[in-house]
Structure 1
Amino acid sequence: MAITFEVAKAIYREAIDPRVGDGEGAAWWDAVASEMKDVVAARTLNEAAGIMHGGITTGTVSPTP
């Protein structure tokens, strides 16, 4: 599943933080989009939750920019 930066931004802003701007940079948005793709591809809710928790606790993706 391809998630563009624009789609990732829209999902993130709707679900997490509407104040996030475009200034976060391509690398940050790439990490967000990559994690979203992994969550969507997860086979179970527990697997999806683990992916989301891992991204937040490792600093790959932050709940705030």
Structure 2
Amino acid sequence: MKYAVVIEKAEGNYSAYVPDLPGCVATGDTAQEAEANIADAIRFHLEGLREDGIDVPSPTSIVEYVAA
């Protein structure tokens, strides 16, 4: 499964979250580090859901870039 990830520039680092997995977040000093960390966080989050007997939500978010 592939989940949409949002990476945002914060004051001193980058933060990432997954709209389809509430509570699944990560940070990093660079956007690339945040991306690597959120990939680990997704795996950990899904593992925890499975261990708790909770259904893993299917990805539903769509990401598009819009010219302004």
> What TM-score range do you get, normalising by the shorter chain?
0.3 to 0.5
Larger radius of gyration: 2
TM-score normalised by length of structure 1: 0.34
* Structure with more strand by fraction: 2
* Structure with more helix by fraction: 1
Higher relative contact order (CA 8 A, sep 6+): 1
